[in-house]
Structure formats: structure tokens, C-alpha cells
Structure 1
Amino acid sequence: MDNAELYSKNHRVQIDEATFVLENYIQGIKWKSGDSILDIGSGSGEVTMEVLAPLLPNDFEKLVGLDISPEMVNHAKKQNKNPKIDFIVCDIGSENITKTIDEKFDHIFSFFCLNWVQNQIQTVKNMYNLLKPGGDMLLNIATKSTIFDIYESMASYPKWSKFLTNSEEYISPYHHCTDPEAIYEKLLVDEGFEVKICRVQQRFMIFSDLSELKNRLLAINPFVNKLPEDLQSSYVEDYMKEVYNFNYFHRLQSREIAIKVPFKVCTVLATKP
């Protein structure tokens, strides 16, 4: 997931889902003059700059995009033209996060990032400490997805298992949970958050054809670039064979054939007292 150019060209799903969340839940955010905002998992920056920033009050003080990938942050910095927006490299799950970022924010947003972080307890603690008293946060966390199923399946291939020994690090900690809402809400409450919303919903990624689907899946695939170069194309072929095993072809109302991939996401609105 360090190919910022590829990710930037294939981020429509990210844009669509962030837009959906903000349109439906941003009214729960309590704004005031001079607010500071943190976007966790800002990636190549498009969601931060094109989706989130236009919805902020005109008098916000600053918006900081945070991402673990230096390549993503460098790409976002190059595209950014707004002096009130900045991007930094930081691991939100780090136990020593104050060495990288030691300031407080009025609001935290995160769209499809926290499902990649394995240390959930530390991450919740970090978000609590990054918020000012009275601050709030709106999060979207993928809890179950075909993508995670494919990662697990590929890791079981004798051909790939020796290369994908850490595949569990890229699967949502909630992928096999029967009640992710209860688990995540307990994490928040135990840290001191007041939870307003913690709700899992069924959503769908819709692609016009297999090419669009392939490009999107490869844009977020963490394994391809870690493989020997001479094996990468073979891995992609096997990866797409796994995709074909799921019958996600649907005829939409327009009578066009499209690919409709289901996933589940937990939306969270919480405040720090």
C-alpha cells in the first residue's frame, strides 16, 4: 500500500465511502471557531483535501493528515495547495506516538484506516490523548471484507505462504468477530470515551468491470511489492483467481453488468469528556 501514484488513481471507493459517512454523520460533530482537525490514515491525501476539508467551517485553524507511509505523505504534500492543511508521517498505533506528534485536536476523523492497525488498545489510547477535553471523533472501520478472506486464502497457498508469513497484520482485528460493535465500544468506554454511535452496517463496493476492480484491489494490496519481482505477475494472477471464486456479478437497474462486493463497516461517533 505504499504505491501512492497507484492508490491516488484508484481511490474512488475511498472517496465514495468517506462522502457517505460525512453526509450521514458529520452533523454530530460540535464545531467552534478556530478548530483543529486530525485525519488519521490520510493516504495520498485526496479524501482529506477534496472530501473532508470542504465540509469544515471556514474559520478552522488547521487540518492535519496523518499516515504511516512516507510515500503517501510525500504525495499528499505535493498535491496540497491549502496553507491550513498539512500531512505528517506517524503510526497511530505506536506506543511512543508523542515522539512524532505531541499536540491536541478538537476533532479526529478516520476513514478505513484503523482496520489495518493491530494494536487496537494503544490506538484508542492514542486517539484519546490526541483529543482536547470536549473533543469528538468520527471513525469508519472495516470489520469484515472479502479482501481479508482473500489475504487469508493466499497465505495458505504453498506457493505463497513463505512470502506471506505476516498476512494477519493486514486483516481487520474484527474480521472474525461475531459482535464487533460491542468489542469496539468497550474499548472506547474503558479508555474514557462517551460513545454516541457505534454501529456496523452492510455496504457495497461497486465496480464497472474487472479491470477497475483489479486496479482497486492492487492499489491497497500490501504484498505485491514485497514479493520478488519475477513472481509478482504470478501472484496477481492467483489473487484474481481468488476474486473470481466470489460471485459478485450483478445486473443493476440500468441493466448493465457490474461487480458488487459486500463489506461491513463500523461507524463510530464518540466524545472525550
Structure 2
Amino acid sequence: MDNAELYSKNHRVQFDEATFVLENYINAIKWKNGDSILDVGSGSGEVTMEVLAPLLPHDFGKLVGLDISPEMVNHAKKQNKNPKIDFIECDIAFENITNTVQEKFDHIFSFFCLNWVQNQKQTVKNMYNLLKPGGDMLLAIVTKSTNYDIYESMVTYTKWSKFLMNSEEYISPYHHCTDPEAVYEKMLVDEGFEVKICREQQRFMIFSDLSELRNSFIAINPFVKKLPEDLQPTYVEDYMKELYNFNYFHRLDSGEIVLKIPLRICTVLASKP
């Protein structure tokens, strides 16, 4: 997850899904001149700079990408050419976040980051505190994914279990939740948010190029770098075998064979009174 170069080259799915969410929901955001925007979990920065920024009003004031990884933040800073965009290193679940991020924002966006955060209540509290009164936020949170199933399966491998300690920390808190919409909406309401949308839906990651599939999954896998270097290729092979066992192969009308991998995403639109 901290390999910014690898992630930057292999995040087409995240790019496409963030585009889908923004195209369908950004018109519900209430804009005014000089708005400040926070993108939580900005990663290597491309989604912030190339997907989110072009959809903002031309007169927005500032766009800040926040990420827990110093490598990701450094990569994003090096790529950024827009003086109205900046990137900062911070953990969105940090208990004293307002000591680190002292400004308030008119809007918060987050795409496929919050599913990595275990302390969901603190995160919701922090986002509330980082918003100005009247501010709003648009979030996309992965609730269920084949990735998480594979992480859980590989912990049972004798040869990998000793390297995959605390694997539950990398699985969405909602992966085994029967009603993630209700759970997340209650957290928002309890914190004081007005919830306009909290909707889980089925989406698919589609790959026809198996090399892209392999690289994409390695780019977001949090365990590869925890392994001794000589064992990493074998781990990746076992990981891919687990994925193929799900048999997500589909033949399109054109005759092309693709892997159509399901995941569920909860889209949230909420505002601070």
C-alpha cells in the first residue's frame, strides 16, 4: 500500500470508480465562491488532481489531499502543478486531528479510503469537526470485496499465517456487516450529520488483461511488503490462485473473456448543520 510508484501505475479501478461516484453525485454538492475542499485518502494524488479537481467550480479556493502514507504524499506533491492543490500527511482517525489539520473545509470527499480505517466513530467525528457549519461531504466506502475474502483465507495457510498478523486491520469493518447502510447512517446521525444519501450498491471490477489484474491487486495488498523478499513471488502466486478459485470469468458478447469481480460500495452524502 505504500508503494506510490506501483499504485500510481495500477489504480485504474479506483480512478474509474471515483469518476462514477462523482459523475452521479457531485451535482448534489452546494458550491459557493472560494470553497475549500478536503480529499481524504488521496493516495498518490492522481484521483485528486485528475478526477476531482477538474469537476470543481473554477473559482474554488483550495483543494487539500490528505493521506496517512508519507510516500504517497511525497509522490503526489512531486506530481502536482496546481498552486491551489496541496497534499498533507495525516491519519484521518487521529484523535487530535484538529491539532494537525487546523483549518476547516466547506466540502470533504473520500474515495475507497475509509474502508481501511478501523476506528470508524473517531473518523466520523473528525470529519464533522473538519467541516464548516453548512459544509457537506461525499464518500465512497468499500463494504465488501473479494480482496478481503482472500486476505482471510490466506491467514489459514501455515506458510503465511506467521507473516499476516493482525490481518483483520486491513479488512473493511463492514465486510461481515449485514446492514452497513444502517450502521454507518446511525454513526453519522449520532455525530450530528444530516444524511441525504447512504446507499450500498453492487459494482464490478472488470479486467481482460491478467497482467493489469495482478498488478492492480498487488498495488493495494498491504501484506506483500511485510514478507521476506524471496517469499513475495510465491505469496503473489498463491493470492492469484485464490482469486481464480472464485471463477469470476465471463464471456462477453464479443467473445472476449474478462474477469468480472464484484464488490459493494456504500455512497454517502451528508452535511453538517
TM-score range, shorter chain: over 0.9
Which whole-Å CA distance do the structure 2 matches of 1:75 and 1:253 have between them? 40
Is 2:157 the counterpart of 1:161?
no
Q: Which moved more, 1:183-192 or 1:224-233?
A: 224-233
Q: Summarize deviations over 1:213-271 as a string: whole Å, max 9, x none.
A: 11100000001011111211111111111111111111123221111100000000000
3-state DSSP of counterpart to 1:19: helix
The equivalent of 1:264 in structure 2 is: 264
Which whole-Å CA distance do the structure 1 matches of 2:235 and 2:143 have between them? 25
The equivalent of 1:52 in structure 2 is: 52
Which whole-Å CA distance do the structure 1 matches of 2:270 and 2:98 have between them? 22
Is 2:78 the counterpart of 1:89?
no
The equivalent of 1:71 in structure 2 is: 71
The equivalent of 2:32 in structure 1 is: 32
Contact conserved, 2:37 with 2:107, CA < 8 A, in 1? yes
Which whole-Å CA distance do the structure 2 matches of 1:201 and 1:24 have between them? 13
Q: Which moved more, 1:126-135 or 1:154-163?
A: 154-163
Is 2:124 the counterpart of 1:124?
yes
The equivalent of 1:110 in structure 2 is: 110
Q: Which amino acid aligns with 2:184?
A: Y
The equivalent of 1:247 in structure 2 is: 247
Q: Which runs of 5+ in 2 are unaligned?
A: none
Contact conserved, 2:98 with 2:130, CA < 8 A, in 1? no
Which whole-Å CA distance do the structure 2 matches of 1:82 and 1:237 have between them? 40
The equivalent of 1:212 in structure 2 is: 212
Structure 1 residue runs of 4 or more that deviate by more than 4 Å after TM superposition: none
Contact conserved, 2:3 with 2:71, CA < 8 A, in 1? yes
The equivalent of 2:141 in structure 1 is: 141
Which whole-Å CA distance do the structure 2 matches of 1:194 and 1:119 have between them? 21
Report the count of equivalent residues: 273
Q: Which amino acid aligns with 1:189?
A: V
Shift of 1:155: 1.1
3-state DSSP of counterpart to 1:136: strand
Q: Summarize deviations over 1:154-174 as a string: whole Å, max 9, x none.
A: 111111111111110000000
Q: Summarize deviations over 1:114-170 as a string: whole Å, max 9, x none.
A: 000000000000000000000000000000000000001111111111111111000
Shift of 1:87: 0.3
The equivalent of 1:10 in structure 2 is: 10
3-state DSSP of counterpart to 2:161: coil
Contact conserved, 2:38 with 2:64, CA < 8 A, in 1? yes
Q: Which runs of 5+ in 1 are unaligned?
A: none
Q: Which amino acid aligns with 2:224?
A: V
Which whole-Å CA distance do the structure 2 matches of 1:230 and 1:21 have between them? 39
The equivalent of 1:225 in structure 2 is: 225
The equivalent of 1:188 in structure 2 is: 188
Q: Summarize deviations over 1:44-103 as a string: whole Å, max 9, x none.
A: 000000000000011110000000000000000000000000000000011121232111
Contact conserved, 2:108 with 2:136, CA < 8 A, in 1? yes
Which whole-Å CA distance do the structure 1 matches of 2:263 and 2:60 have between them? 34
Q: CA RMSD in A?
A: 0.7
TM-score normalized with structure 1 length: 0.99
